[in-house]
Every structure is written in C-alpha cells, then in structure tokens.
Structure 1
C-alpha cells in the first residue's frame, strides 16, 4: 500500500473517532423525558430481551437510550455506517453490518441468532434508504420469529437541526429536551400468516407515527 493511501486511511479512521466522540458528548448534554418507560425498566430488570423500533431520522436518541445494555443493532455497510459502528461501540452495542440491499439476509439471520441468545435488538424500520416513516418487515419478523416483545418508540427533539436528508434526520441542539414515548409491548403470535403479518406491520407503522406526533406535542408543554 502506498504512503498516500496509508495516510488517507489513517485520517479517515481519526475522523471516525473524532466525530463519534463529538456525537457522544452532544448526547450527554441533552435531557431525555420518557413516557411509558416502566415496561422497558421491567424488561431490563427481568433480563427479558425485546425489539425496540424507532424511525431512522431519530436514531441517535433511539440508540442512545439503550446504551450499555445487552443490545444489538443493524448498521448499513456504507461509510456512514462506519461512523455509526464506531459510535455504537462506545455505547456498548453488538453491531451487525448489512441492509436490505447489501448483506441483508445474512444480517437478519445474525440478528435472529443474537435474539435467540438473549440480546435485545434495536431497529430503524424505515432504514436504510426509506421511504421515511414507512415500516419494513424486519422489526416485526424478528419479534415474531423469536417470540419476544416489540416496543415502538416515538421520539422528538424539541430544539434541533433537521438535515436535508431522506429521513429528516434530527440532530439535537446541546442541552435540548428530547421526548421519548414508548408503546405498550406488542407480543406477536408466531402462527400469524403472511396477510396477518403484513396487516400487523401496517398497524405498527400507524402506531409509531402516532407516538412520534405525541412526542412532538409534548415539546409545547
């Protein structure tokens, strides 16, 4: 490998470290207000693993609230995914790399294996490329297959920068308030057929969007 390529690679990984450190510091400054958090506390105390689903645009908070627990996350194989892998490593995650377009089947199988071994799973069901706020099957299928509860998390940053990206990515301002509203646990019958499972996915999508709007309304209180 040439000296130029080595230098470029070193700078790239230094950049990953600096950026993940900045994000980590930012999230430590925010105040997170929870609604319906008791179920999450109960599951964690009982060591009951679960699937947590939140929209891609709110993933910084969605991942942060579960840090340092026995949890795994699916991250794309893109360069952005490299940053997230570094960040999630700081937060104690088991990171699985893949997406629906690149290594998705293998990644899903690994997530299922981790769930079988007691890991909770954090999923952005509209990722990695959208459309935004439209739920794909991964969260429901994981919960259904492994017979563990699915919990939806509606998230809204009260003061934030919304990036011009497909997912309306939210970057909270330092020391801002973030509202997180959890659903009741959803236990999915493993015997549901294809049509019933698809209906449940749609119902979860509607519910998650309602939770997101509820979290947003709490910012005015």
Structure 2
C-alpha cells in the first residue's frame, strides 16, 4: 500500500487533470459557437419594451395638447425674438427642468402663431431617451441623441453639431439629475463654442400641481392661467470667464421664471 502522502498527491494530480479537461472542453465549445471566441463574454439580450410603456408618448402628447387648449396663456418677449426667427442664426433656449412639460406644446403653438422655428431637444440613447424622443417628435420637434454620461461630453458634441447645422436647441440646464435651479456648465460651453446666443425661457401656471420630485415638476391644472416669458439674449465669447457667464445665465433664467410666476399671480 502506498504511503498517505503519495495517495494525496495522486488525488491532487487527478483533480487538476479533471479541471483542465473541463476548461478545455468549455473553450472548445465557445470557440465552435458562431461569432464567439473563447474569451468573449456572453451579454444577455436587452429585455423587450413593455407594449404598454410604448403607449406612453402618444398618450402623454394627447393629454398635453388637451391641457394646453384650456390654458389662458400670456406670452412676453415674443416681439424681441421675432427678428431672430427669420434670420439664419440659431438660438439656444434654456428652461428649468421642473417647467419643461409644456415646452413642446408651446413651441408648436408659437410656430403656428408667430413663425417660430422648431427646436431640437436632447434625448439620451437609452430606452427612456427613446420615449422622450417619441414624445417630442409628436409636436414636430427635432431630437438630438447623445449620452449624458462621462460628464456629458457625448451630449455636448451632439448639440454642437446641431447648432452648427443651424438648428435651435432647447435645454434644461439643471437636468437630468439636478441640483434644482443650478445651471450646469454644459450650456455655457455650448454657447461659447458655437457663438449662438442663449435665451432664458420662464414658464409658470396657476393653479398647478407640484410633484414631490427633485425638480418640483410642475403640471398646470386645466384652465389655469399660464405665462411664457422670454428673457434677454446673452452671447458668450470663447475666451469669456465661464463661471462668471454661468452665474449670469443662471440669474437671467431665474429672472425670467420669476417674471412668469408674477404674471400668473397678479
């Protein structure tokens, strides 16, 4: 009978050989699979979208149209912008994230009544971004698809391309995650790179529901008083102090929003 140490060594060698054989067999199967190599990672397919979720954009667009038809809207600053709408120079609009719900409807209305141009809005390449793109497209808006991850570099590149192509864009500069009412640096960079002026857009409605979300998302009540205020255009030079420009834009957007709030409270 072999000593215990030799039996243990034989068992270890047998186990190692068995493990190596199993690994070799797995590698052989992977290599023989079409389009896969032995070191490729299998990524599970994306789950199909719930058909009910796909109905959200058309339903939301229909409800917003019905709601908009009941609003008693007052607009200020349209005469100031009218010459820009007939010129070739693109504009960058900004509105706080909590006030964006009616923006597609407002743009569609101004296109019919005052000759405004269709704006482009940013949507991510994710499934949620696809729903936003569907919703915006139902009002005749164009959609710029770009990723807001990794500091928003992809989104900025997509927006720069759109503006340089002559398209107006509308952004929520405190989105998509806040902090609420704090203007991010992306819109400053966009204006400085493209030379397009920024137009603050204030919207308010009263009465309105305010959701318990980070942006205090506002939904006008049917037949509410509503106000749309365009603030003064601001241009940002390439060599401008970016932080100073950011604060000035933030103040301008706050002033336009406060003016809209005053109009519906009077």
Asked if the contact 1:21–1:87 (Cα under 8 Å) also holds between the matched residues in 2, the reply is: no
Q: 1:147 to 1:55 in 2, by over 3 A?
A: same
Structure 1 residue 136: deviation in Å? Answer: 0.3
Whether the 8 Å CA contact 1:158–1:179 is kept in 2: the answer is: no
Whole-angstrom distance in 2 between the partners of 1:42 and 1:54: 21
Higher relative contact order (CA closer than 8 Å, sequence separation 6+)? 1
Distance 1:33 1:80, change over 3 A: farther
Could you say what secondary structure the match of 2:223 adopts? coil
Deviation, 1:166, is 0.5
Aligned twin of 1:9: 50
Q: Partner residue of 2:61?
A: 20
Moved more, 166-175 or 102-111: 102-111
**In structure 2, what is the equivalent of residue 112 of structure 1?**
160
- Paired position in structure 1 for 2:265: 220
Counterpart of 1:188 (choices 221, 232, 236) is: 236
Name the Cα RMSD after superposition. Answer: 2.2
Distance of 2:69 and 2:126 partners within structure 1 = 26
Structure 2 CA distance for partners of 1:57 and 1:87, relative to 1, 3 Å? same
* Whole-angstrom CA distance in 1 between matches of 2:88 and 2:101: 24
CA change 1:80–1:25 in 2 (3 A) is farther
CA contact (8 A) 2:173 2:184 kept: yes
The runs of 5 or more residues in structure 1 that have no matched partner are none
State the TM-score, normalizing by the size of structure 2. Answer: 0.73
Structure-1-length-normalised TM-score? 0.86
- Does the Cα contact within 8 Å between 1:85 and 1:95 map onto a contact in 2? yes
Task: Tell me if the contact between 1:99 and 1:128 (Cα under 8 Å) persists in the aligned partners.
Answer: no
Number of aligned positions between the proteins: 213
Deviates more, 1:35-44 or 1:20-29: 20-29
**Structure-1 separation of matches of 2:76 and 2:63:** 27
The answer to whether 1:202 aligns with 2:243 is: no
Q: Which runs of 5+ in 2 are unaligned?
A: 1-46, 112-116
* Distance in 2 separating the partners of 1:81 and 1:32: 29
CA contact (8 A) 1:179 1:219 kept: yes
